[in-house]
Structure 1
Amino acid sequence: MSARTRALAVCTALVLALLVTAVLAPLPYSLAYPGMTANVLGADDGKPVITITGAQTRKTSGQLRMTSIVATGPEADVRLPDLVKGWFRTDEAVMPREAVYPVGENTEEIAEHNAQQMRESQDTATSAALGQLGRSGKGIKVKLSLADVGGPSAGLMFALGIVDKLDGDGAGHDLTGGRKIAGTGTITAGGKVGAVGGVPLKTQAAKRDGATVFLVPRKECADARAELPKGMRLIPVSTLDGAVDALKALRTGDTVPSC
């Protein structure tokens, strides 16, 4: 064997070794999928998702569905073949692990962080809803119960659910107009809607569970349009007031914002 042939063989072996290492090495990504949805106007595990005391509530129709994604755990090994497969699927997304799990090093820490964010989201959703209705909240207590859901992304839908149960559209009608409406977005106590991530997967979860309208944070319109399920209508929102107005317009057939 000549020196040139030996050198070529060594180089080929090194390249193959690097390729094998690249294929087998864990990468700092998570794989995400469409998660569960829940009607915040309904019940979860036999209990009302929204319970209001200290104020008269109204019977509602239609649905307001919060949406979610599920992802591989922080300790799961995600390798190059997994990423390649995820890039070519519409029901799967490759996301930086730090974007999915920004806090915590293990499942327990992350679960506690998400639970805390959910509790804070419920408080701000209540404040936003009562503020939108011009109520002080004195004497009104709102309890939100939704098992196995963490994080702040259900804030908008919680707030809309509270508004619908207390006041509807303000004229005796439901905000939903009898439709199945889904959505996502964080909420501040002042009613501002924030971006959340994973919107394309959430629109798929909404479609799977029968929704025909999806409320999306305005800044995520482009992401939502990218892989929008057929027959799903997008409504961009940036405030709770805007979301309420859009749903009123949808019910009456007036002009509704679009992405």
Structure 2
Amino acid sequence: MAVLSVGVVLLVVFGVLGAAVPVPYVAQVPGPTFDTLGEIDGEPVIDLQGRERNEVEGQLTLTTVGVSRAGLSLVEAVRGWFDDEVSVVPEEAVYPSGRSEEETREANRQAFLSSEEAAEAAALGQLGYPVKVVVRGLSEESPSEGLLEEGDAIDSVDGRPTPDAEALDQVLGSIPGGSAVVVGYTRLGEPGTATVTTGAAEDGEGSLLGVLIREQPSAPFDVDIRVSDVGGPSAGLMLSLGILDLVGDTDLTGGAQVAGTGTIDAEGNVGPIGGIQLKMVAAADIGAELFLVPADNCADALAAPQPGLTTARVATLDDALDALADFRADRAPDPC
């Protein structure tokens, strides 16, 4: 009797501890979804300046993973391991040591902004627009303030062509700081000029325009992506497809609900992401008919199929476009 009583007490103690003592794991769940062809709070996710959006039907939805709770108890962690719609992962995987939650969120946000740039570059390259030196922003107290704008393609400086960043550096390096130079640019497809009094380079040799630049395809319109609550690079593929659907010559969805995920680089290569199973659950929940899976995530996707959700294996932007074409034609896309 005494042994039984002790056993009951120990069971109660362990139960209390299991329910109360936190373990270094977090629970991930299917996150919110965003139709790249749609709106958030009345504003388009992908906004265009300089041309009208195509009239499109269907959806091209990016999927996300949310963190429902950090500091799980042992009982909650064990329960999560047996739940198909929860992924229990080490806290370190979501909140790296040595970095605050705020710093982690900021790093994830910067990764998303970089994926926006890559998505735009991949889409515009797919459409055949030429690569130019494009202004991505102005530095603090920039001498180009009010003269050059984000999205301007810098075509020349003082009549000397600047087809790439190296050429621009060479031209500016030969001009003393404080010089008034005529910058030729293209803005929304229209050529223009601006006279900029340059700043001095830090080493005292050459000039600065005070602009941040990137080399990317330049189109006669600007693309502005407005998704404020998403972090990380995994939206890249779906953003590229959204841009292509809104400005290209083909209705990519044929009116279907398509979801997907995947990083993308400026050359259109699609990379793997985390939480593929949870993203497929989110896609199934919104009634998606087709889910685009990065090729390197196929093994995980096959381990967690969703009824009624067709998957397509994509390693490049071209693969994704082929999968959509097959789906529109009632052909089976290349599966995982």
Fold conserved between structures, TM > 0.5: yes
Post-superposition shift, 1:26? 2.9
Determine whether 1:155 maps to 2:233: no
Determine whether 1:222 maps to 2:304: no
Q: In 2 relative to 1, CA 181–193 (structure 1 residues): closer, same or farther, beyond 3 Å?
A: same
Q: After the TM superposition, which residues 211-250 of structure 1 pair with which residues of structure 2 at under 5 Å, given as runs?
A: 211-250=288-327
Equivalence for 1:64: 60
Determine whether 1:134 maps to 2:128: yes
Post-superposition shift, 1:126? 0.1
Post-superposition shift, 1:153? 0.9
Task: Calculate the TM-score normalised by the size of structure 1.
Answer: 0.85
Whether the 8 Å CA contact 1:25–1:79 is kept in 2: the answer is yes
Task: Return the letter of the residue paired with 2:303.
Answer: A
Which stretch shifts more, 156-165 or 220-229? 220-229
- Looking at structure 1, the residues matched to 330 and 10 of structure 2 have their Cα atoms a distance apart, in angstroms, of 66
- Looking at structure 1, the residues matched to 264 and 298 of structure 2 have their Cα atoms a distance apart, in angstroms, of 17
Equivalence for 1:8: none
- Looking at structure 2, the residues matched to 63 and 108 of structure 1 have their Cα atoms a distance apart, in angstroms, of 32
Structure 1 SS opposite 2:65:
strand
Structure 1 SS opposite 2:125:
helix
Whether the 8 Å CA contact 1:51–1:143 is kept in 2: the answer is yes
Q: When you count helix as a share of all residues, which structure comes out higher? A: 1
Residue ranges of structure 2 left out of the alignment (5+ in a row) = 1-8, 131-216
Equivalence for 2:224: 143
- Looking at structure 2, the residues matched to 103 and 180 of structure 1 have their Cα atoms a distance apart, in angstroms, of 39
Question: How many residues were matched structurally?
Answer: 247
- Looking at structure 1, the residues matched to 56 and 233 of structure 2 have their Cα atoms a distance apart, in angstroms, of 24
Task: Return the letter of the residue paired with 1:198.
Answer: G
Post-superposition shift, 1:149? 1.4
Residue ranges of structure 1 left out of the alignment (5+ in a row) = 1-12
- Give the one of 31, 42, 49 matched to 2:45: 49
Equivalence for 1:77: 71
Equivalence for 1:26: 22
Q: In 2 relative to 1, CA 102–168 (structure 1 residues): closer, same or farther, beyond 3 Å?
A: farther
Q: In 2 relative to 1, CA 18–89 (structure 1 residues): closer, same or farther, beyond 3 Å?
A: closer
Post-superposition shift, 1:98? 2.6
Q: In 2 relative to 1, CA 199–56 (structure 1 residues): closer, same or farther, beyond 3 Å?
A: same
Task: Return the letter of the residue paired with 1:252.
Answer: A
Task: Return the letter of the residue paired with 2:40.
Answer: D
Q: When you count strand as a share of all residues, which structure comes out higher? A: 2
- Looking at structure 1, the residues matched to 314 and 331 of structure 2 have their Cα atoms a distance apart, in angstroms, of 16
Determine whether 1:192 maps to 2:269: yes
- Give the one of 113, 124, 128 matched to 2:118: 124
Post-superposition shift, 1:253? 2.7
Larger gyration radius, structure 1 or structure 2: 2
- Looking at structure 2, the residues matched to 203 and 256 of structure 1 have their Cα atoms a distance apart, in angstroms, of 17
Equivalence for 1:177: 254
Task: Calculate the TM-score normalised by the size of structure 2.
Answer: 0.67
> Percent identity among equivalent residues?
44
